[in-house]
């Protein structure tokens, strides 16, 4: 069985920890690889490589760092398809979706190519007589990233592009379920001129994550994953005095007002609910049908569902692939049962889809209507192709529902009324809002992050907030006086 290992100090390193895990092709259900699980000592080896590389990388000029980032961008661009194919092979998402993931990740590398501009400080000449004040942002040192299974290429790019552009050195711990895209990216970065030790990958599980959190050399941690793990990582890293941003789970609502273009709304609900088999943190999982729109909207969604082509992601005809593991598929399916038991109407049951008889981890698309906030299928993050419809009478009820929800990652409104949309963006408690856009993932020059239990920490990821997260500010107050003006003054410094 082919093994997937670490990338430390510029080369691939096999683990001697003796601990490993299986990697599957979810479309066939067959194990294709074994992935090494790093021991704490192996994690420390990666951290040490990053620590040793830091002083030189930090001192590398901005123009040279930008030049290397342009080469990184070119190398990743030239291998888009390979990165996407590895993603499809281990995650299961269809190839076109994986290509989209790589493209969205590359936006962050493109943003980071502008690092000389992004790190510009400010300068106040003559802040006091003969005194100038200026600010700068400097890197933190060794920083770590821990990424989830659902975006094995894009989320690492969210993190490492800005982190290394700012002059930090990086240790990535990808998901053990689809570890290969990170390893390929590490090799490409190295070929593009990123010095040894600046970007390292350690494969593994909780043991590796705990070792990163315990290492005094790691100054900041970026995490993306489920809410319980995000909360615990945030607490542990905080206690250890590290800077931490932990992006977590979601339950994204899409409000459809009675004046919305129904076909557009139904297309959006199907695309955003079932794309990537619902395994996106920005997937729409709840459609909130306001007033009279309910029956027509449910019928329009239902009409579209049989047309979703489910299959192996390598088949260009497939639009939706399998789920990540058989356990996850069964967990997702259990919400159809619990929804039914708790009073929801099962309009379409994905378990009855013939695709479920294939050997991979497939589940058909499901639609639950008349879902209420007490039901498990509403309360939990399902993270699968199960769309719930909650019916409410008014706009106010719709906003109340969203604002009461414990998560606040993304949300969307479908309407033709600009005033209603504007009011929604003002009222709604979520970090990312779409207006007639179901998956409002911000472009790379804005920042990504949710509210409430969708993000632990203060800083959103990538874009300008990413630059802030990966740097600390310094302000210099400077005097180059004419020696003739110097005198002793014991008073507290004040401007003159």
Identify the three-state secondary structure at position 284.
strand
Chain centroid to CA 83: how far?
Answer: 17
Binding mask 442-461 for ligand NAD (x = CB under 6 A): --------x---x-------
Interaction of residue 147 with ligand NAD, rule CB under 6 A: yes
Interaction of residue 277 with ligand NAD, rule CB under 6 A: no
Burial of 486 (0-12, 13-18, 19+ CB in 10 A): exposed
Which residue number, 209 or 332, has a Cβ lying nearer to ligand NAD? 209
Residues that bind ligand NAD (rule: CB under 6 A) add up to a total of: 26
Binding piece for ligand NAD, criterion CB under 6 A, among 44-52, 81-89, 98-106, 221-229: 221-229
Identify the three-state secondary structure at position 10.
coil
Distance CA 405, CA 394 (A): 17
Distance CA 185, CA 182 (A): 5
Closest CA to 64 of 165, 139, 168, 198: 165
The least distance separating ligand NAD from the CB of residue 151, rounded to whole angstroms, comes to 6
Distances (CA, A) of 292 to 59, 259, 286, 289, 295: 63, 10, 17, 8, 7
Binding piece for ligand NAD, criterion CB under 6 A, among 54-62, 126-134, 147-155, 259-267: 147-155
Which residue number, 3 or 416, has a Cβ lying nearer to ligand NAD? 3
Q: Is 281 assigned a catalytic role?
A: yes
Chosen residue from 28, 226, 238, 338 binding ligand NAD by CB under 6 A:
226
Interacting residues with ligand NAD between 354 and 383 (CB under 6 A):
381, 383
The least distance separating ligand NAD from the CB of residue 390, rounded to whole angstroms, comes to 19
Is the Cα dihedral 217, 148, 190, 110 positive or negative? negative
Which pairing describes strands 11-13 and 345-348: parallel, antiparallel, or unpaired? unpaired
Distance CA 361, CA 345 (A): 25
Interacting residues with ligand NAD between 172 and 211 (CB under 6 A):
173, 175-176, 205-206, 209
Binding piece for ligand NAD, criterion CB under 6 A, among 6-14, 60-68, 218-226, 258-266: 218-226
Instruction: Identify each DSSP E strand in 197-280 by its residue range.
Output: 199-201, 218-224, 243-247, 252-256
Distance CA 330, CA 363 (A): 9
Interaction of residue 432 with ligand NAD, rule CB under 6 A: no
Interaction of residue 221 with ligand NAD, rule CB under 6 A: no
The least distance separating ligand NAD from the CB of residue 55, rounded to whole angstroms, comes to 29
Chosen residue from 98, 172, 248, 377 binding ligand NAD by CB under 6 A:
248
Phi (first) and psi of residue 358, to 5 degrees = -75, 160
Identify the three-state secondary structure at position 194.
coil
185 Cβ contact partners less than 8 Å away, ≥ 6 residues apart: 76, 83, 153, 156, 157
Chosen residue from 15, 44, 150, 366 binding ligand NAD by CB under 6 A:
150
Which residue number, 26 or 167, has a Cβ lying nearer to ligand NAD? 26
Identify the three-state secondary structure at position 159.
helix
Which residue number, 66 or 432, has a Cβ lying nearer to ligand NAD? 432
Distances (CA, A) of 247 to 171, 227, 236: 18, 8, 15
Which residue number, 69 or 224, has a Cβ lying nearer to ligand NAD? 224
Chosen residue from 105, 145, 152, 225 binding ligand NAD by CB under 6 A:
225
Interacting residues with ligand NAD between 286 and 345 (CB under 6 A):
none
Tokens of 229: 């793990």
Number of neighbouring beta carbons within 10 Å of residue 444: 23
Q: Which residue is nearest to ligand NAD (CB)?
A: 225
Interaction of residue 409 with ligand NAD, rule CB under 6 A: yes
Residues annotated catalytic, as ranges? 281
The residues that touch ligand NAD, with contacts defined as CB under 6 A, are: 146-151, 173, 175-176, 205-206, 209, 224-226, 229, 247-250, 281, 381, 383, 409, 450, 454
């Amino acid at each position: 069985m082919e093994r997937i290992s670490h990338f430390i100090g510029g080369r691939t390193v096999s683990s001697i920890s003796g601990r490993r895990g299986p990697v599957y092709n979810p479309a066939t259900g067959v194990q294709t690889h074994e992935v090494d699980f790093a021991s704490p000592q192996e994690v420390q080896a990666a951290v040490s490589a990053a620590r040793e590389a830091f002083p030189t990388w930090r001192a590398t000029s901005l123009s040279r760092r930008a030049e290397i980032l342009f080469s990184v961008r070119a190398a990743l661009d030239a291998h888009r398809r390979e990165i996407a194919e590895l993603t499809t092979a281990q995650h299961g998402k269809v190839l076109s979706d994986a290509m989209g993931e790589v493209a969205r990740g590359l936006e962050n590398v493109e943003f980071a190519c502008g690092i000389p501009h992004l790190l510009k400080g400010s300068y106040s000449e003559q802040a006091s007589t003969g005194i100038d004040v200026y600010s700068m942002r400097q890197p933190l040192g060794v920083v770590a990233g821990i990424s989830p299974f659902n975006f094995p290429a894009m989320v690492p790019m969210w993190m490492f592009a800005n982190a290394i552009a700012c002059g930090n050195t990086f240790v990535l711990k990808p998901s053990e379920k689809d570890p290969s895209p990170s390893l390929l990216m590490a090799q490409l970065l190295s070929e593009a001129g990123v010095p040894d030790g600046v970007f390292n990958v350690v494969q593994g599980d909780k043991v590796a994550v705990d070792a990163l959190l315990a290492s005094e050399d790691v100054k900041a941690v970026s995490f993306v994953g489920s809410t319980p793990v995000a909360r615990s990582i945030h607490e542990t890293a905080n206690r250890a005095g590290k800077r931490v941003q932990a992006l977590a789970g979601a339950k994204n609502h899409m409000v459809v007002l009675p004046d919305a273009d129904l076909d557009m709304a139904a297309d959006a609900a199907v695309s955003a609910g079932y794309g990537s088999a619902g395994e996106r943190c920005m997937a729409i999982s709840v459609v909130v049908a306001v007033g009279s729109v309910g029956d027509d909207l449910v019928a329009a969604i239902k009409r579209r569902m049989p047309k979703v082509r489910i299959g192996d992601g390598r088949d260009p005809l497939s639009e939706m692939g399998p789920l990540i593991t058989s356990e996850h598929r069964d967990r997702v399916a259990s919400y159809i049962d619990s929804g039914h038991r708790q009073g929801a109407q099962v309009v379409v049951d994905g378990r009855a889809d013939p695709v479920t008889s294939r050997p991979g981890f497939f589940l058909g698309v499901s639609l639950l209507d008349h879902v209420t906030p007490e039901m498990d299928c509403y309360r939990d993050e399902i993270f699968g192709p199960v769309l719930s419809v909650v019916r409410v009478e008014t706009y106010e009820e719709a906003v109340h529902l969203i604002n009461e929800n414990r998560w606040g990652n993304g949300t969307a409104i479908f309407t033709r009324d600009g005033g209603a949309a504007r009011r929604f963006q003002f009222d709604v408690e979520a970090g990312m809002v779409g207006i007639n856009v179901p998956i409002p993932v911000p472009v790379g020059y804005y920042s990504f992050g949710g509210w409430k239990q969708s993000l632990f920490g203060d800083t959103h990821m990538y874009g300008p907030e990413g630059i802030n997260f990966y740097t600390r500010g310094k302000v210099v107050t400077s005097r180059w006086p004419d020696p003739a003006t110097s005198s002793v003054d014991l008073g507290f410094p004040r401007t003159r």
